Amino acid sequence: MNRNQYIRLAKKAADLQIKELKKIKKIFNKNFIQAVDLILNCKGKVIFAGIGKSGLIARKISATFSSVGIPSFFCDPAQALHGDMGQIEKKDILIIFSYSGNTSELTNMLKYANRFRIKIIGVASKSDSLLLKASDIKLLLPIVKESDLTGMVPTTSTSITLLLGDCLATTVMSKKRFSKEKFKIFHPGGNIGGKLLLAKDIMVTGDKLPIINYNKSLGSALQVINKKKLGIVVVLKNKFIEGLVTDGDLRREIKFLSKKTSLKKLMTKNPLTVNENMPASKALAIMNEKKITSLLIVSDTDVKKKSRTKLKGIIHIHLLLKYGLR
CATH number of the CATH domain containing 209: 3.10.580.10
Q: Is 193 a member of any domain?
A: no
Let me know the angle formed at the C-alpha of 129 by 126 and 132, rounded to the nearest 5 degrees: 90
pLDDT bracket for residue 138 (50, 70, 90): very high
| Cβ pair 94, 39 in contact under 8 A | no
Q: Is residue 11 domain-shared with residue 150, that is, in the same domain? A: yes
Q: Is residue 110 domain-shared with residue 218, that is, in the same domain? A: no
Q: Is the pLDDT of residue 265 over 80?
A: no
pLDDT bracket for residue 92 (50, 70, 90): very high
Q: Is residue 174 domain-shared with residue 209, that is, in the same domain? A: no
Q: Is residue 156 domain-shared with residue 217, that is, in the same domain? A: no
Q: Domain limits at 152? A: 3-178
Q: Is residue 166 domain-shared with residue 252, that is, in the same domain? A: no
Strand ranges for the chain from DSSP E: 46-50, 72-74, 93-97, 119-124, 137-140, 211-213, 232-237, 240-246, 268-269, 273-275, 294-298, 313-316
- Percent over 90 (pLDDT), the chain: 42
Res 306: pLDDT = 59
Q: Mean pLDDT for the chain?
A: 86
**Cα 120 to Cα 50: distance, rounded to the nearest angstrom:** 13
Q: Is 61 a member of any domain?
A: yes
pLDDT bracket for residue 181 (50, 70, 90): low
pLDDT (mean) for 114-120: 91
236 forms beta bridges with 213, 241
Last residue of a domain, which of 178, 212, 242?
A: 178
Higher pLDDT, 153 or 176: 153
Q: Is 194 a member of any domain?
A: no
Res 188: pLDDT = 54
**Cα 92 to Cα 76: distance, rounded to the nearest angstrom:** 16
Q: What CATH number did the domain enclosing 7 receive?
A: 3.40.50.10490
Q: Is residue 217 domain-shared with residue 118, that is, in the same domain? A: no
Q: Is 191 a member of any domain?
A: no
Q: Is 87 a member of any domain?
A: yes
**Cα 158 to Cα 53: distance, rounded to the nearest angstrom:** 7
Last residue of a domain, which of 178, 207, 222?
A: 178
Q: Is residue 299 domain-shared with residue 216, that is, in the same domain? A: yes
Higher pLDDT, 81 or 170: 170
Higher pLDDT, 145 or 264: 145
How much is the pTM?
Answer: 0.63
Q: Is residue 70 domain-shared with residue 218, that is, in the same domain? A: no
Q: Is residue 55 domain-shared with residue 112, that is, in the same domain? A: yes
Res 169: pLDDT = 92
Residue 264 φ/ψ, nearest 5 degrees: -60, -25
Collapsing DSSP states into helix, strand and coil, what is residue 127?
coil
pLDDT (mean) for 18-32: 95
**Cα 317 to Cα 293: distance, rounded to the nearest angstrom:** 5
Collapsing DSSP states into helix, strand and coil, what is residue 218?
helix
pLDDT bracket for residue 214 (50, 70, 90): confident
Q: Is residue 140 domain-shared with residue 92, that is, in the same domain? A: yes
pLDDT bracket for residue 174 (50, 70, 90): confident
Res 83: pLDDT = 64
Q: Is residue 158 domain-shared with residue 207, that is, in the same domain? A: no
Look at the chain and report how many structural domains it folds into: 2
Q: Is 187 a member of any domain?
A: no
pLDDT bracket for residue 326 (50, 70, 90): low
Q: Is residue 70 domain-shared with residue 114, that is, in the same domain? A: yes
**Cα 4 to Cα 271: distance, rounded to the nearest angstrom:** 54
Res 160: pLDDT = 95
User: Which one, of 273, 252, 35, lies nearest residue 164 by Cα?
Assistant: 35
Res 2: pLDDT = 75
Q: Is 188 a member of any domain?
A: no
Alpha-carbon dihedral sign for residues 168, 172, 175, 177: negative
User: Which one, of 183, 169, 50, lies nearest residue 106 by Cα?
Assistant: 50
Res 320: pLDDT = 78
Q: Is 184 a member of any domain?
A: no
Res 120: pLDDT = 96
